[in-house]
Amino acid sequence: MNNTLKFNLGIKYNLETVLEVVDCHKDNPNYLSYKEQLIALIKRYEEFLEPKGYIVNEIVNNKPRIHCLVTIGGEVDESINKCFKDFEYFEGMLLNALADNILYEATNALYKILSLEMEKEDLYLSSRYEPGNPEIPMSMQKELYDKIVPKFDLDMIISEGFMLSPSKSLAYYYETTEQDCAYGVDHDCSACESQCMHRMYILKIHKDNTIKVIQAKQGENLLEVLRRHDVFVNSPCSGKRLCGKCKVKVKNHGYKLEETEKKYLISEEDKDIILACYHIIDRDLNIYISNDKVYHKIETGYKAFEVKSAKYDSEAYVKENYPIGIGVDIGTTTLAVSLVNLVTHQVIDIKKMINPQKAYGADVISRITYVGENDDRKLCMLIREAIESMTMQLITENNYNWHHIEEMVISGNTTMIYLLLDIDPKALAIAPFTTIDIGMKVCDSKELFSEVDSFKVTIMPWISAYVGGDIVSGLFATHMIDKKENIVFIDIGTNGEIVLKTKDRMISAATAAGPAFEGANITCGMGSIEGAICEIKTNGNEYDIETIGNTEPVGICGSALIDIVALMHKQGFVDDMGYMKEPVMFHENIGIYPADIRQVQLAKAAIYAGVEVLLDVAKLTFEDIDAFYIAGGFGSHLDVKNSAYIGLIPTEVIDKVVVVGNSSLAGSIRYLLEKEGDTEIKAIRTQCEYEELSTSMKFNMLYVDAMLFNT
Amino acid sequence: MDYLIAVGECLQRGNSGETRENVIKALEVGVSHQEILNHMLEVMEVVGRKFKKNELFVPEVLIIGRAFNVALEVISPLLAVEEKYLGTVVIGAVKGDLHDIGKNLVKMLMVGTGVRVIDLGVDVPAAKFVEAIKTYEPDIVAMSSLLTTTMIQVSKTIKEIQKAGLRDKVKIIIGGAPVTNNYAKNIGSDFYAIDAGTAAEIVREYIQKNS
C-alpha cells in the first residue's frame, strides 16, 4: 500500500438513524413526513456532502500506524448555520445529523477498504484509536492534523481546543498487527464512558470453538440482534414472551431476570441460561451456542401414489443424462426438497431442514406480524436462499448440474407461498382473510433464485388463506378426486386443516389448533429432535421414558404429549374437565403442568369439532367415515388409540386411520411426473368448497363440548 | 380578539405562515404588540411543558420554534428596547466540544421564554465567554459539555469568569450528558439542567423573578 492515499468514500447514510438522532421515532405520527423532508434535504445538499478520506502510513514507536482523516467540506457547516439564522431549526438539525451520519458511514467504508488492503498483506487492523477516547488525549488530534493536512495541502484549521474546521471531520488512527486482536471490530466503544446514543456493545458468539463477533446498538433487543446476524435461536412466539423457548447461554451475564422469565426457566439449572427476548443490549456479552447437530425428525416419507400417464416419455428424453425435476414442500416448521428423475420416476434424494424463517416465529401469524413491522424482505430472502442452496446440494451430491433441471414445483401453505413470492401477507391475518387469486402460478426460476439456470417453476394453488397449496398437493397425492367413499383428510400442524370427501363433494376447513402439538406453548414442549421424550410407560408410581436418540431427556415432543395427557387422565391426575392440581414430573425438571393440559384441550377440540362440522354440512356422522387420512409429520408418529382417548380424533375411526405422511411433498413429486396434473389440480380447486369455521355458531358449540375428556 | 386566539393555535401547530398572518391581522384590529407577545410566550410555555412530558418531540418543538421566530420578526420592530427582552443569556458549548444539537435546542426553547440569546457556538474557549459577558452583560451564562473529556473545561471557564471579576454579575447554568447535579455544585455553577426543557424553565423562572 502507498504511504499516502486519498479516497472518495461515497455518500452513504441510514435514514432511520438520522431521524432518531433528532428524536423522530417511528411511532411519531409525523414520522413519514419528516422522512420525506430528510430525503428532499439530501437531494438539495448532495453536492456538499461528498466525504473524502486521507491516509498517511508511518511507523510510530516502532509500530506501523495508519493515520486517517475523513472529512466533508465546509459548505455543510455554512448551510447548517444559515438554516439556524433563518429559523429553519428543524432543517438545520436534520442536516447536521445527516452530515454526522454520512461522516460516520464514510469511516466505515474506509475501514472496509483498509481491511481488504491489509488482508492482501496478511495483516490485521486494530480497532480505531480516536482522540477523545479515555486513553487518547485530545492533543492527539493535533498530531494527526500535522501528519495529514500538510501532505495533502487541505483547507482545514485546528482550534486551540483541538477542534477541526470544517467541523464534519474525523481524525483517528489504526495500528496494524500480524494477529487478529480486534475480531473485525472497528469502532470499539468498550473504553468509552460516554452515554452516547450511538453506543455499541460487543457480542462474542462462541460456537464450535470459533468466535464470531457482532456489534449491537445500546437498547436493541438481544433476540432481534441474534436473528439479524443469522445466529439461529429457536423462538416459536417470535419474541412476544409467550413461549419461553429462546434460551441462550450467556456467561456471567449479570442481567436481573424478570419474574415471568424465571417461570420459563424453572427447569433450568444453569444460571447462565436466559431468554433472549427478555433482554436488551446494555453490556458486552459472551454467548455460547451449543453445537446443535441434533437429529431433526422431519417427515419426508409418504404414502405411495400412482402416475396415470407419464409427462416425460422416455423416447424423447433419453439423452446422456435424464432430465430431473425438483419437488419442494415448504412447511411452516420444516422444508423438504426432493430430486426426481423425470423419466424413471425414481426419487433420487431428499434434503430436509428446519425452515429458516422459524427464528421469526413458530406460527404463520408471528411471521406475518414480522413482515408488517419490518420492511426488509428478510423472510422472503431466507426461504428463497434455503431452497436454492438445498437444490444446489442435491444436484452436486448426485452429479447433476443446473441445466439438467427441467422443472420445479413448490407446495406450501398460503402464507409460505405469499412470503416466497414476496406478496404482502397482511390480509391473511385479518378477517375476512381474503387472498388474491393467482391460480396455478408458473414463473421462471430466475425470478426467485439468484444463481440458477432458467427452468420452469410451478406453484401449487391455494383454496383459501388457511387451506393452502400444501393441502391441494396432499389431495392430489392421495388421488382424492377419484375416491367414491367418505374420506376425512386432516393435516395437524400449527393449524389443523380438514377436508371431507364424499361421493360428490369435497369440503375443506381450517382450525386454529395452535402450536401445542409442535411444543410451542407447552412448558417442557419441544420439536421432534434429540432429547425429546417420545414414549412413556408406567408401572405404578414410576415413569419409564424413552427419548429420541436415547439421550438425557430435555423436553416432550408432540406425539408423546398426547400419550402423556391420556396417561394423566387414566391415572386420575387430570379430571374430565381438564383440571390438574399440580404438575407431574417424569425426570428431574421435565414434566407436565396444569397449563399444558389446557393448551392440549384447545388444540384437540379444534380438530375434533372441525371434523364434526364438516360431517354435519355433508349430513353424515362419524359412523359413515370409510377412511381417516392423517397427513403431516406429527400425524405419522401419533398413537391412534391415545389420540381417540383424549378426543383428538373420533373413536369411531380408530381402525380406519391411514397415515399418509408428507403428502404435500408427495403431491409435488406426482405433479412433476403426471401428464394431466394441471387438469386434476384445477378440478380439485374448482370442486373443493370452503367452510369458514371462525364464524360458525355450530363450530363454537361443538368446540366447547369437545374440550372435555369424557371417554 | 379572535386573531389573537388564532395566533396561538397556528403557533401550536407550527404553521409559521399562518401565525405570521394572524399576528399582522391582530395588530390591524388593534391588539397591542405586548399582548400578542405575551400570548405567544404563554403558548411557548405550554410547548415547553408538553416537551418535558414527552407529549411533543424535538422535531415538533423545532418547527414551532420557527413559527415563533417568524412571528416575532413582525412585532420586534414595534417593541421598545426595554420591552423587547425579559433578559439576556449567553450560551455556548465549551472548548473542545463540537456537539451542538442539544445546545441549539436549549437556545431555541430559551428564545421562546422571551429572553435574548447570544449564541457563541461550539468549541468556545473560556476567554470568549468572559469577553461576551463584558459585551452583552447577560443575566445568565449557559454552558454545555457532551463529553467526559470536556467537562473539565466547564470548571475552567467558571474559574476564568471568577478571575475576571465577573462571577457575581451572572448566574451560571450547565448541562450535557456526563454532567450531574453534584458536579455542577462542586465546580460552583448556580444551576444544573438535566434536559433542554428544564434549562428553559429554570431560565424563565429566574428571569421572571428578577425582572
B23 with B79: CB under 8 angstroms? Answer: no
Residue A434 is predicted with a pLDDT of: 86
| pLDDT higher than 70, residue B102 | yes
A134 in reach of chain B (CB within 8 A): yes
Mean pLDDT of B136-148: 91
B101 in reach of chain A (CB within 8 A): yes
B59 in reach of chain A (CB within 8 A): yes
Residue A317 is predicted with a pLDDT of: 58
CA distance A203 to chain B (A): 25
A21: chain B residues, CB-CB within 8 Å: 101
A41: chain B residues, CB-CB within 8 Å: none
Which of A199-213, A303-317, B133-147 tops mean pLDDT?
B133-147
A25 in reach of chain B (CB within 8 A): yes
Residue A234 is predicted with a pLDDT of: 77
Interface probe, candidates B16, B57, B106, B111, chain A, greatest A C-beta count within 10 A: B57
- B172 forms beta bridges with B141
Q: Which of residues 90-119 of A touch B (CB under 8 A)?
A: 90, 92-93, 96-97
B152 in reach of chain A (CB within 8 A): no
Of B16, B97, B177, the CB nearest to A195: B177
A8 in reach of chain B (CB within 8 A): no
Residue of A nearest to B61 (CA): A90
**DSSP letter assigned to residue A256:** P
Report the mean per-residue pLDDT for chain A: 88
A579 in reach of chain B (CB within 8 A): no
Residue A93 to residue B153, Cβ atoms within 8 A: no
Residue of A nearest to B70 (CA): A87
The span from the CA of A33 to the CA of A30, in Å, is: 5
B195 in reach of chain A (CB within 8 A): no
B108: chain A residues, CB-CB within 8 Å: 89
Domain A314-480 fold: Nucleotidyltransferase; domain 5 (3.30.420)
B77 in reach of chain A (CB within 8 A): no
Cα angle A208, A214, A219 (rounded to 5 degrees) comes to 130
CA distance B211 to chain A (A): 27
Digit-coded pLDDT (tens) for A129-169: 988 777 788 889 999 999 999 999 999 999 888 889 999 99
B15 in reach of chain A (CB within 8 A): no
Q: Which CATH class is domain A4-197?
A: alpha beta
Residue, of A144 and A252, whose pLDDT is higher: A144
Q: Sheet of A496-501: strands edge to edge?
A: A657-661, A627-631, A487-492, A496-501, A506-511, A688-690
| Cα separation values, A327 from A311, A389, A469, Å | 15, 14, 13
Interface probe, candidates B40, B94, B108, B157, chain A, greatest A C-beta count within 10 A: B108
Residue with cell 411557548: B44
Q: SS3 of A210, please?
A: strand
Q: Which range among A9-18, A423-432, A464-473, A561-570 shows the weakest confidence by mean pLDDT? A: A423-432
Q: How confident is the model at residue A294 (pLDDT cuts 50, 70, 90)?
A: very low
Q: Where are the domains of chain B?
A: 2-82, 85-209
Residue of B nearest to A170 (CA): B98
Residue B209 is predicted with a pLDDT of: 86
Mean pLDDT of A366-386: 90
A160: chain B residues, CB-CB within 8 Å: 95, 125
Q: Which CATH class is domain B85-209?
A: alpha beta
Q: Which architecture characterizes domain B2-82 according to CATH? A: Orthogonal Bundle (1.10)
Q: Which range among A45-54, A558-567, A676-685, A700-709 shows the weakest confidence by mean pLDDT? A: A700-709
A162: chain B residues, CB-CB within 8 Å: 96
Residue B122 to residue A160, Cβ atoms within 8 A: no
Task: Name every residue whose Cβ is closer than 8 Å to that of residue A331 and which is 6 or more positions away in sequence.
Answer: A355, A412, A413, A416, A470, A493, A633, A664
Q: Where are the domains of chain A?
A: 4-197, 201-288, 314-480
Residue A194 to residue B177, Cβ atoms within 8 A: yes
Q: Which range among A76-80, A163-167, A362-366, A512-516 shows the weakest confidence by mean pLDDT? A: A512-516
| pLDDT higher than 90, residue A327 | yes
A488 with A500: CB under 8 angstroms? Answer: yes
B98 in reach of chain A (CB within 8 A): yes
Q: How confident is the model at residue A293 (pLDDT cuts 50, 70, 90)?
A: very low
Residue B66 to residue A87, Cβ atoms within 8 A: yes
A33 in reach of chain B (CB within 8 A): no
Residue of B nearest to A90 (CA): B62
Q: Are strands A52-60 and A63-71 parallel, antiparallel or unpaired?
A: antiparallel
Residue of B nearest to A35 (CA): B59
A159: chain B residues, CB-CB within 8 Å: 95, 123, 125
Mean pLDDT of A537-554: 82
Residue B96 to residue A161, Cβ atoms within 8 A: yes
Residue A89 to residue B98, Cβ atoms within 8 A: no
Q: Which CATH number is A201-288's, of 2.40.50.70, 3.10.20.30, 3.20.20.60, 3.30.1360.80?
A: 3.10.20.30
Of B65, B70, B178, the CB nearest to A194: B178
A84 in reach of chain B (CB within 8 A): yes
Residue of B nearest to A193 (CA): B148
Digit-coded pLDDT (tens) for B46-86: 998 888 887 888 888 888 988 998 998 898 888 776 677 88
Residue A321 is predicted with a pLDDT of: 61
Residue of B nearest to A162 (CA): B96
Residue A711 is predicted with a pLDDT of: 56
A24 in reach of chain B (CB within 8 A): yes
Q: Are strands A584-587 and A590-592 parallel, antiparallel or unpaired?
A: antiparallel
- What phi, psi does A4 have (nearest 5°)? -130, 130
Q: How confident is the model at residue B22 (pLDDT cuts 50, 70, 90)?
A: very high
Of A34, A90, A159, the CB nearest to B66: A90
**Interface confidence (ipTM) of the complex:** 0.84
B39 in reach of chain A (CB within 8 A): no
CA distance A29 to chain B (A): 11
* H/E element, A7: strand A4-8
Residue B104 to residue A34, Cβ atoms within 8 A: no
CA distance B82 to chain A (A): 23
Of A21, A93, A160, the CB nearest to B104: A93
| pLDDT higher than 90, residue A683 | yes
- Of A287, A296, A112, A271, which Cα lies nearest the Cα of A210? A287
Q: How confident is the model at residue A295 (pLDDT cuts 50, 70, 90)?
A: very low
A22 in reach of chain B (CB within 8 A): yes
The span from the CA of A643 to the CA of A636, in Å, is: 12
SS3 readout for A13-45:
CCHHHHHHHCCCCCCCCCHHHHHHHHHHHHHHH
Residue A300 is predicted with a pLDDT of: 65
Residue A194 is predicted with a pLDDT of: 63
Residue A296 is predicted with a pLDDT of: 44
Helices within A538-696 (DSSP H only): 558-570, 594-617, 633-637, 640-646, 663-673, 677-687
CA distance A54 to chain B (A): 21
Of A34, A88, A97, the CB nearest to B66: A88
B178 in reach of chain A (CB within 8 A): yes
- The set of cell numbers assigned to B59 is 422535531
Amino acid in the structure at residue A502 = T
- Of A142, A103, A170, A196, which Cα lies nearest the Cα of B101? A196
Q: Which range among A440-454, A586-600, A643-657 shows the weakest confidence by mean pLDDT? A: A586-600
Residue A97 to residue B101, Cβ atoms within 8 A: yes
What is chain A's length? 711
Residue, of B76 and A627, whose pLDDT is higher: A627
B146: chain A residues, CB-CB within 8 Å: 194
B108 in reach of chain A (CB within 8 A): yes
Q: How confident is the model at residue A512 (pLDDT cuts 50, 70, 90)?
A: confident
- The set of cell numbers assigned to A570 is 387414566
